[in-house]
Amino acid sequence: MRNLLRVKRQGFMSRTSFAFACALFLSIPFMGSTRAGAVAVEVPRDSSGWFVDLNRFSESAHKNLTCEACHGDMSDQGQKHPDTRDTTRLKSKATRIYDYQRCRTCHRESYERYLRGAHAKALTEEKKTPVSEGFLSDRLKAPTCGECHSAHYDRSHLSRGATGQAMTDTCGACHAEQKATYLENYHGKVAVNLRDEASAYCTDCHGAHECVSLKDRKTALAACQRCHPDAGERFAQFVIHPTTEGLARDNKEKQKHVTIIKIVTLIMTIIVVLVVGFFYGHSFLWLLREIHEKLRKH
């Protein structure tokens, strides 16, 4: 009798713990989405503004520079800095007023790459279209140095991984779809989520400061071949960012490929939902019937 009881209790325990283990296992994918790839070194991403936190400035890459080294005699575009009567000036974005040609003094190579790149081209285009609010407008989107870098707070000597993690957020601030698709891609998962520095970050393909779009097949292939030396011409057709957001209208080929990828994804989703739904329903009914049969015999 005692043995019998013990067996029964064990059976009960194993079933309870088993049910618990099942519930735990099935709920794993829904557990909190704390990013495993949280930045190891906290890199402040906020760009420079009118207010300067000198505690943070004293830890930045420019900590040894004096204010005058970058800001000169504190006048910009004919306006004196401490003009307390001009309220509009302080309401505007500081990064839109600062003359970033001064960065060239020390960062010549980076500056010239920027001038050759897509962001500088966008800025030139933007300046051609007349905007009534002038440089105060939020409509101005093309970035200068200060939109991506913070001259006051960015630190130096960050690891490749830490730079890459911060870069994903910096670029993603404007290119949200590109960030999302990159993080769905193997490169992004491995580089950002799993912190493997061997994988590619944004600038590894698009180039630092040049920031080219890679719609030109030869440029794209050259970017691929930096890590995949055996890549052939059609390898560059692989779509890293399967989104039409920000895609050039004349890029019909990639539009077609993105559409096909989306259609196949939709079809697969429908198949998975139907098949899983059918068999889960089947198993559920079956379980109800067998439990009913067991209870009826008692």
Which one-letter DSSP state was computed for residue 280?
Answer: H
Q: Applying CB under 8 A, does 90 fall inside the site for another protein?
A: no
Q: Applying CB under 8 A, does 29 fall inside the site for another protein?
A: yes
Neighbouring residues of 209: CB distance < 8 A, sequence distance ≥ 6? 110, 111, 113, 114, 117
Q: Applying CB under 8 A, does 34 fall inside the site for another protein?
A: yes
- The residue within the footprint of another protein, chosen from 183, 200, 205, 245 (CB under 8 A), is 183
Q: Which of 10, 79 has the CB closer to another protein?
A: 10
Residue listed under structure tokens 């707070």? 153
Q: Applying CB under 8 A, does 96 fall inside the site for another protein?
A: no
User: What is the C-alpha separation between 183 and 177, in angstroms, rounded?
Assistant: 10
Neighbouring residues of 228: CB distance < 8 A, sequence distance ≥ 6? 235
- 201, 163 contact by CB (below 8 A): yes
Q: Applying CB under 8 A, does 7 fall inside the site for another protein?
A: no
User: What is the C-alpha separation between 213 and 199, in angstroms, rounded?
Assistant: 19
Report the nearest approach of another protein to the CB of residue 297 (Å): 11
Q: Applying CB under 8 A, does 293 fall inside the site for another protein?
A: yes
- The residue within the footprint of another protein, chosen from 4, 36, 73, 252 (CB under 8 A), is 36
CB atoms inside a 10 Å sphere around CB 234: 9
Site for another protein in 229-288 (CB under 8 A): 230-232, 234-239, 242, 257, 260-261, 264-265, 268-269, 271-272, 275-276, 279-280, 282-283, 285-288
- The residue within the footprint of another protein, chosen from 137, 193, 244, 255 (CB under 8 A), is 193
Report the nearest approach of another protein to the CB of residue 49 (Å): 31
Neighbouring residues of 105: CB distance < 8 A, sequence distance ≥ 6? none
Question: Which pair of tokens denotes residue 57?
Answer: 């400035």
- The residue within the footprint of another protein, chosen from 2, 85, 128, 294 (CB under 8 A), is 294
C-alpha distance across the termini of the chain, in Å = 20
Which one-letter DSSP state was computed for residue 14?
Answer: H
Which one-letter DSSP state was computed for residue 80?
Answer: E
Q: Applying CB under 8 A, does 12 fall inside the site for another protein?
A: no
- 224, 236 contact by CB (below 8 A): yes
Where along the sequence are the contacts to another protein (CB under 8 A)? 14, 18, 28-29, 31-37, 183, 186, 189-190, 193-194, 196, 198-199, 228, 230-232, 234-239, 242, 257, 260-261, 264-265, 268-269, 271-272, 275-276, 279-280, 282-283, 285-291, 293-294
